[in-house]
A and B are shown apart, each in its own frame.
Chain A
Amino acid sequence: RNPASLGLQARVRPLPILIATGSGYMGYDQYGRYKDRELESKGIEVPPRIANEAQVALYKTIPTRLLSRAWGRLNQVDLPTWLRKPIYSLYIWTFGVNMKEAAVEDLHQYRNLGEFFRRKLKPQARPVCDSHCVISPADGKILHFGRVKNCEVEQVKGVTYSLETFLGPHTWAESIALNRNEDDPTNFQDILVTKEGNALFHCVVYLAPGDYHCFHSPTDWRVAHRRHFPGSLMSVNPGVARWIKELFCHNERVVLSGEWAHGFFSLTAVGATNVGSIRIYFDKELRTNLPRYSKGSFNDFSYVSNNNQEGISMRKGEHLGEFNLG
């Protein structure tokens, strides 16, 4: 019974306790999900299981921004030519990428995975719909859509986040020079709706790892203001979006706001763990996923200046920006 073996025993003892509690918790959680599925199969609507504050705080302790930047650095390393095809083919097979639509189909042309991730499409691969005023800005999956009610936006059915937390205080109006309806607005949502008979709508598009990761202008509009919220880079896949309320308010994001034919219009690009950086082609100042930021902060930038009262005019379908690895 020498001290070394006592020390080892002391270290080893917590391990089985941790494993037992962890697996006990997992078992309890899985049983609950099984019960939910049972109820749903009987047609009973079950509210989504939302993470509690402790679980969200635990998740946020994971250094997702550091991991994201490390992932980005790794994917900037140029691969030897002979290794490119096997690596990219594995990525293509894993995430179901359709290389026939890519502007450059030859895998050897992509020096690293970061460049492969930023691949462009053949112009004719995505015809822009002429007969509708709003189009999808990107390839992806529709997570949720509909009218905004009571200043709450649904990230997925039944899980909401606050409109005001997501967009930040309404101080950009000066740069959009929105002529708001006269009567005094009662809440944040009313402030955004500038014309009688209008309502506020939202649509959430989730881009999976294998999707084309550039995004385009969803309509003819003029972009007057950019607000960059540094933040976490938690995963935004549909499973996590169903589990963490206010997920899009925790994550790093870039809010572009302006005006279209019917009044207020905004597009927000929300980063995620493996896709931490957001680029807006006409905004050379924007830097995202930087090592240091103060929690809850945001920085504003107006595209309306003395010699450009209009802001940035964007045509429907025009290249607007892209997500980058890391």
Chain B
Amino acid sequence: MNIFRFAGDMTHLISILILLLKIYATKSCAGISLKTQELYALVFLTRYLDLFTDYVSLYNSVMKIVFIASSLAIVWCMRRHPLVRRSYDKDLDTFRHQYVVLACFVLALVLHERFTFQEVFWAFSIYLEAVAILPQLVLLQRSGNVDNLTGQYVLFLGAYRGLYIINWIYRYFTEDHFARWIACVSGLIQTALYADFFYYYYLSRIKQDTIMRL
């Protein structure tokens, strides 16, 4: 474990908690894509299949449970909470994410580290996390609503990606044979898509602020 990865995990967790608290506090999820949040929950559920079989460290096991619980809590809030679910942009959040899930699964069947049940699902979760932001990006382009996507959320999400890339560079130079190419390449694609999301986020933010000022 290095400080970059620890900080990356913390900023990732904080971004999820910021979103959960924002939805719970305002009892609104306007502008938030349920499909992206479902994909994130699926990412954690398929990546942490080794929760009960491989013990890496207490930190690792605790964080897996926290990520699964917090991502499911957001999905539950948006689907079941009587007040929150009313504000969901159902007719705008129409990205057909099932095709993305299928494409990632096929890719995982072809490209993985070992052809075992857990490894195929691990690769699937890595690919899926890279593209999970797409429904949110599409919804943001359509709705331009950044009310619930706070600046802090975007900031911590960006910090998570940046710190993980530094972590990979650090591990590449300090550990012999650090070769998690699937995670690194997919992570770079994910970061590029996040950069696109951040671009549209700030455009929407500026547009919203301008309208507010007029």
| Same complex origin of A and B | no
